[in-house]
Amino acid sequence: MKRMASLLVTTAIISWSLASPVQADAVTDWNEIAVDTVMAASPPRLGPLGFLDIAVVQASVYDAVQAIGKKYKTYKVEIPGASGSPDAAVAKAARDALVAIFPDKSELLDTTYRGYLTKKNLKENDPGIAVGEKATAGIISQYASTVRGPTSPEPFKGDTKPGMWHPTTSYQTGSPPSGLAMVAPWLGSMNCFVMTSGDQFRAPPPPELTSEQYTRDYNEVKDLGSFSNSKRTEEQTQLAQFYGVLAPNIWEKPLRDLAEKYTDNINDSARLLALVSLAMADASITVWDNKRHYVYWRPVTAIQEGENDGNPATAGDPSWQPFLNTPPYPEYTSGANGITAAFARTLALFFGKDDMTFTVTSTNPQSPVKAKEYKKFSDMASDMVNVRIYHGVHFRTADEVARDQGIKVAEWVFSHVGTPK
C-alpha cells in the first residue's frame, strides 16, 4: 500500500512537471501538488480530512505571499521585513506544510521542491524561502492538532435505537469497508480555521421520525436512491455516477482553472485559493459538529429498519441497498453539501456574481459523462443536494440544511479573511 501511494505521488510529480498550464502561477502549481499528495495518502484521508490538509497548505501559502506582496491582510502570521521571490515563498510554504502533514512523503516532496526551484530559476538562498518557512511554521503551530486529531481517539459507534446512527455494512466492492466506526468523531470540537467554534452554525435538530417531513424524505430516498429497482431517470443516474467519487479534486481542479483564467497576479490567486480552502475546511468542521451531536441514522439503516420507527407511512425493506456504499459517519448534516455550498458561495463572493461558466471533471472512472459545464456556481450546489439523494446516502433535509450551513460559513470566512491592507 505504501509503495503504491509513493508511485502515485511520483506519477503526479512527473505529470505536473510535463503538463503544468502556461498561465498557472506558483499558487496553483502547488495546489495541484498538494491535492495529488492528499489523494495518494496511505492510509487514505477519509471523510473531510483532506480538506483540512489543503486548508493548511493554502493558509501557509497565502500568508507567505501577502507578507511579501502586502496587498491583503495576512491570515495569521506576520513576517516583518519580508522580501524575496513570491514563487520561492510559495514553494517553501507548501513544501513545509505537506511534509509536516505527510512526513513519510518528505523525500518525494523534497524532490518536487528542488525540481520546482530549478524549473523557475530560483535559488535555495532566495529571501522568499525564509518567508515561506516562517509562514508555515506559524500555521502548523496552530492547526497541527486539527489536522492530526487526538493521538488515540476513542472509537465512536453510535447507538442501535431507532433514529440513531451505527456502523453500516458495505455490499459493493471498494471503500468504505464494512462496519467502520465514525471517521474523525473529534473533528467538530477541534480548532476552527476562521469560525469561532464548530457549533457556531449548528443546525436545528433533524426531523422527528413520525413527522411529515421525515416521511417525505424517507420515501424520496427509498425510491430514488436505491441500488436496484430505482425510480431514477437515466439523467439522474448519470448525475449520480458523475459525482460517484467525491475526491478533493472534484472541487480543487475547477478552483485552479478559475484562478488561472481570472486572476492576473499571485496576491489574488493566493487569496482566492485560501478563501475557498478555509471555507471548505470550516464547513467540514461545522458538519462534523452536527453529525456527532445528533448521531442521526443513514437511509440504509432507516429503510432496512423502517418497521421499527413508529411511523406507519414509512414501510421498511430489510433488503434495500443504496446506490453507493454509505460513508462511515452519521447522516445529519451532509458533508458533500456543506463543502460544495462553501465552495460555490465563496466563488460568488470573490468574483462578485454567481453567473460564471466553469467546468467540473468527474473523478469516477465509471462515469459515462466525463465533464460537466455549469453557468452558475450555485447550480453545482443545487446538483449536490439531489446527488446525495440519488446516491441513497442522505435525506433531502440533511442536504438542504448543510447547503445553508456552507453558505453561512463562506460568508463568515469571506468577511474575516483576505481583506485589503
Domain boundary among 126, 148, 170: 148
- CB of 404 closer than 8 Å to CB of 256: no
Residue 167 lies in a domain: no
Interval 148-157: pLDDT, tens: 888 888 999 9
| CA–CA distance, 270 with 377 (Å, rounded to integer) | 20
Domain boundary among 132, 148, 164: 148
Residue 124 lies in a domain: yes
Q: Which residues of 180-196 are buried (b: 16+ CB within 10 A; e: fewer)?
A: bebbbbbbbebebbbbe
C-alpha cell recorded at residue 261: 483564467
Q: Are 236 and 364 members of one domain?
A: yes
Q: Are 330 and 203 members of one domain?
A: yes
Q: Are 256 and 342 members of one domain?
A: yes
Q: Are 115 and 202 members of one domain?
A: no
- CB of 108 closer than 8 Å to CB of 44: no
In the chain, how many domains are there? Answer: 2
Give the predicted TM-score (pTM) of the model.
0.94
Contact partners, residue 386, CB within 8 Å, separation at least 6: 236, 239, 399
Question: In terms of Cα–Cα distance, which of 79, 175, 183, 178 is closest to 136?
Answer: 79
**Per-residue pLDDT, 364:** 96
Q: Are 356 and 224 members of one domain?
A: yes
- CB of 248 closer than 8 Å to CB of 36: no
What letter does residue 150 receive in the DSSP assignment?
-
Residue 375 lies in a domain: yes
Q: Are 126 and 210 members of one domain?
A: no
Interval 234-281: pLDDT, tens: 999 999 999 999 999 999 999 999 999 999 999 999 999 999 999 999
Q: Is the dihedral of CA 407, 413, 415, 421 positive or negative?
A: negative
Q: Are 264 and 372 members of one domain?
A: yes
**Per-residue pLDDT, 80:** 97
Residue 308 lies in a domain: yes
Cβ burial of 96 (10 Å; 0-12, 13-18, 19+) is: buried
Q: What is the CATH number for 42? A: 1.20.144
Question: In terms of Cα–Cα distance, which of 150, 144, 117 is closest to 55?
Answer: 144
Residue 245 lies in a domain: yes
- CB of 36 closer than 8 Å to CB of 105: no
**Per-residue pLDDT, 23:** 63
First to last CA, the chain: 47
- CB of 54 closer than 8 Å to CB of 278: no
Q: Are 203 and 309 members of one domain?
A: yes
Q: Are 270 and 393 members of one domain?
A: yes
Residue 263: φ, ψ to 5°: -110, 140
The amino acid sitting at 222 is: K
Contact partners, residue 80, CB within 8 Å, separation at least 6: none
Cβ burial of 220 (10 Å; 0-12, 13-18, 19+) is: middle
Q: Are 239 and 382 members of one domain?
A: yes
Interval 48-62: pLDDT, tens: 999 999 999 999 999
Type and span of the H or E element at 359: strand 358-361
**Per-residue pLDDT, 1:** 36
Residue 181 lies in a domain: no
Q: Which domain holds residue 234?
A: 187-416
Q: What is the CATH number for 210? A: 1.10.606.20
| CA–CA distance, 390 with 323 (Å, rounded to integer) | 7
Interval 376-416: pLDDT, tens: 999 999 999 999 999 999 999 999 999 999 999 999 999 99
Residue 155 lies in a domain: no
Q: Are 252 and 340 members of one domain?
A: yes
Cis preceding linkage at 312, omega within 30: no
Residue 421 lies in a domain: no
**Helices 212-224, 377-390: inter-axial angle, 10-degree rounding:** 80
| CA–CA distance, 258 with 266 (Å, rounded to integer) | 13
Please identify every stretch of the chain with a pLDDT value under 70, giving residue numbers as ranges: 1-23
Can you say how many angstroms the Cα of residue 221 is from the centroid of all Cα atoms in its chain?
24
Cis preceding linkage at 333, omega within 30: yes
Q: Which residues of 235-261 are buried (b: 16+ CB within 10 A; e: fewer)?
A: ebeebbbbbbbbbbbbbbbbbbbbbbe
- CB of 13 closer than 8 Å to CB of 112: yes
Q: Quickly list H helices, 120-233.
A: 127-148, 212-224
Q: Are 208 and 338 members of one domain?
A: yes
